[in-house]
Amino acid sequence: MKRVPGIVLGIVLVLGCGSGDKAMGDIPSSASGYLEQALDLLEQRALDRGRVDWPKVRTKAHAMAHGARTPAQTYPAINRAIAALGNSHTALIPAGAVSAPSVARIAVPQGRLIEGRYALLTIPAFQSDEAGAVRYVAAGRDAVRGLDAAAPCGWLIDLQGNTGGDMWPMLTVLRPLLGDGRIGAFTAPGQDALPWEARGADILLSGRVLGTNPDRLTRTSPPVAVLTDSSTASSGEAVAIAFRGLDRARGFGEDTMGLSTSNETVVLADGAYLLITTAVMADRGGQVYGHKVTPDSRVSSGAGGTIAAATEWLSRRPGCD
């Protein structure tokens, strides 16, 4: 599956321009069908579609696309329709604008001990292919095992700078720290919630296994400090939300970016990606987001302040005091 920046949940649908597309004056069918398809997708699937006057938006889009001869020449019209939704997570990524990084260059989770007793695990953003996901999870599991060998009394999960991508490798790495049961969900009005679960060794979305990690910690159910900043976005926010409501976890740092929503990803006929926000995230207790995630303790991320505040809290937890 191809992944592009900012995707939380990537459902890739490869769509072309069908013979039933509406004609629009002197705009050739290749451009007209492309524009109509994009507008149809936004009107039918976007979470914020109800706030838009679609006849008006379509009229303006058609006017902007007047004279278009190629799909790319309809991009401004599509972007104008997206702007009407007022959702910064919905976007059109032009054809050829995104390429997956080489597997060897993907940032992977890293771990280090603090004061010999606290495990700091950095969870970076992830955008790559399946081979990249295998490398990411393997490196993350190695990092967790290495830290666990020191029997730390508490853990810090560093999501600062995690701009998102694919949340499932991240959650798979963190499976030993998440507890059991429902850890979050995607939710939208009038639709059944799609739960995220940690069950046995697996991470699941609505019953479908999306990651497996059988590792367990030497010290079970440790306290966990989750670190965020204003760059923590999308899938990074999903990971932070997965710890919300866990009674042994606490958030530290700054408010996140505010892209705690789920995107459906449609590959259009020319290879462009249409990212459509279709749902918002909810935590294990049912609190709904779709906005910035505010940590329990707001701390400036400068000069190690977040880590200092988190380790001070951990020092007062059972087993660390």
Domains and CATH numbers, the chain: 13-93 (no CATH), 103-262+270-314 (3.90.226.10)
Closest listed residue to residue 164, CA positions, set 228, 97, 238, 101: 238
Phi then psi dihedrals of residue 272, to 5 deg: -70, 155
CA distance 298 to 26: 56
The answer to whether 116 touches 150, Cβ cutoff 8 Å, is yes
Provide the total of helices (H) and of strands (E) in the chain, helices listed first: 7, 14
Per the model's pLDDT, the better-predicted residue between 300 and 111 turns out to be 111
Strand partners for 277: 263
pTM over 0.85: yes
Mean pLDDT of 263-281: 93
pLDDT digits (tens, 9 = 90+) for 88-124: 899 999 988 876 666 778 899 999 999 999 999 999 9
Q: What is the mean pLDDT of the chain?
A: 89
Neighbours of 255 (CB within 10 A): 15
Give the pLDDT score at 14.
40
Give the pLDDT score at 150.
96
Mean pLDDT of 61-88: 94
For the ranges 183-192, 195-204, 299-308, the maximum mean pLDDT occurs at 195-204
